A = this chain, B = another copy of it.
Amino acid sequence: MAITAAEPEAAATARSFGPAVALSCRECEERYDLGPRFACEFCFGPLEIAYDFGTVTRASIERGPKNIWRYADLLPVPADVASLPNMNPGLTPLVRADRLAAELGLRSVHVKDDSGNPTHSFKDRVVAIAVEAARTFGFRTLSCSSTGNLAGAVGAAAARAGFDSCVFIPAGLEEGKVVMAAVYGGKVVALDGHYDDVNRFCSELIGDSAGEDWGFVNVNLRPYYAEGSKTLAYEIAEQLGWRLPEQIVIPIASGSQLTKIDKGFRELIALGLVEDRPYKVFGAQATGCSPVARAWERGHDVIQPVKPDTIAKSLAIGNPADGPYVLDICARTGGAVAHVSDAEVVDAIKLLARTEGIFAETAGGVTTGVLRKLAAEGVLDPGAETVVLNTGDGLKTLNAVDSGVTATIKPSLDAFKDAGLL
């Protein structure tokens, strides 16, 4: 490991990570002590958290805080996590979307609207877990490579928890995302290139002395960070009345979120918290960055990297690390991976706004667009209970929609009537 972190690692105790007991290689199952590691030393596979869950009941969860810490017994965090300074995301609305469902010819649709998180994207969930790991390991600076939402989530969480922060983004991101990353007072460094270049840069930095005492939430803290996405699965099931949805549409950037929602569903089944019944997972990409959907269409199990060209910048990862796992999950559950054009993304943002009053980021346009497409093609079962994720906020991608005032007039009744607006 390039990380020199003997001192930080020494600070961690078993209790620092609650029910988590080890890191385990997703490929070869080699185990490691819980530390700031992310790749297997033997096969270079990604490391995941391994747990030894105690007794967890619906009642014990329902008694918990009204945020993700109600699921602390299922996460790599200390039992007293709710008392520590953290953004405390989660328990975002699961919106019953009857008007959207009617328009698409579906019986039951719910929108899991993660724009309700503190910095208005699902990234607050994953960062919240990474912050606890960074605290345990004694890191002083939080960092990340980001397509925008993560930078804001890291900036805010670092401020709340008292870390320094330095985040890396591709140049040319939406203004809302840049300001939201910078306003918390940390450093925001734009790199000339795509997200994949930013990611590569961070991997170099982490191997250099300059970055050795930094907690990169999505690199050396990634095993912890990624577990935050499981809370989406837990919340959806709890909010449906402790039931898994029959179909779920999830966006794909790196693919991590989709794999962790699947993991969360399987944990709930294994713990007896929900009935074991089939669910189908559908992955959604923008056509301009659809390496996983292309592999799916072609029946390949290897992802061919692409150079992203889409307005859905938060999903613009051309070389998605978890792509192969996504293909596995969609195949295993009987789902699919599909993509929609930028024009369809914009239409879908407006559809969701017009029918349900939810102003989604472009990523939410991708999932809603894929929902519409797969419903029209008959790939989705119209009678099955369906959940679609909105992972971000339209306010951060204002330029995607051309909405503006209907008219500007003088403030008089005559002017109003003359304007032909009635």
Contacts and interface: CB of A to CB of B under 8 A. Distances in A.
Interface of A: 66-67, 85, 87-88, 91, 93, 96, 98-99, 113, 116, 118-120, 155-160, 162, 166, 169, 171, 175-176, 178-180, 182-185, 187-193, 197-198, 200-201, 204-205, 208, 210, 349-350, 353-359, 393-396, 398, 401, 403-413, 416-417, 419, 421-422
A67 B95 CA distance: 12
A365 to B, nearest CB: 11
A192 B206 CA distance: 55
A354 B156 CA distance: 8
Given A91-B66, A184-B353, A357-B118, A407 B158 contact: no
A160 B411 contact: no
B119 A98 contact: no
A353 B191 contact: no
B398 A176 contact: yes
B85 A179 contact: no
A67 B198 CA distance: 40
Contacts of A91: 66
Contacts of A205: 413, 416
Contacts of A192: 408-411
Contact of A191 (B88, B191, B410): B410
B357 A158 contact: yes
Contacts of A204: 412-413
Nearest to A89: B93
Nearest to A171: B408
12 contacts: A87-B357, A88-B93, A156-B359, A171-B408, A179-B403, A180-B359, A182-B405, A188-B404, A189-B416, A208-B413, A210-B413, A210-B417
A273 B47 CA distance: 50
Contacts of A357: 87, 118-119, 155-160, 184
B198 A411 contact: yes
Contacts of A169: 405
> Chain B CB within 10 Å — which of A66, A183, A205 has the most?
A183
Given A159-B357, A408-B190, A350 B183 contact: yes
A422 to B, nearest CB: 6
B160 A395 contact: no
Given A99-B85, A210-B417, A398-B176, A409 B185 contact: no
B395 A180 contact: yes
Given A192-B409, A410-B192, A404 B182 contact: yes
A273 to B, nearest CB: 19
Nearest to A85: B98
Nearest to A395: B395
A359 B183 contact: yes
A179 B176 CA distance: 13
Contacts of A179: 394-395, 398, 401, 403-404
Contacts of A355: 159
A398 B159 contact: no
Contacts of A393: 120, 395
> Chain B CB within 10 Å — which of A182, A205, A208 has the most?
A182
A152 to B, nearest CB: 8
A396 to B, nearest CB: 7
A355 B189 CA distance: 21
A182 B204 CA distance: 44
Nearest to A96: B85
Contacts of A201: 411-413, 416
Given A85-B98, A395-B180, A190 B405 contact: yes
A411 B197 contact: yes
Contacts of A417: 210
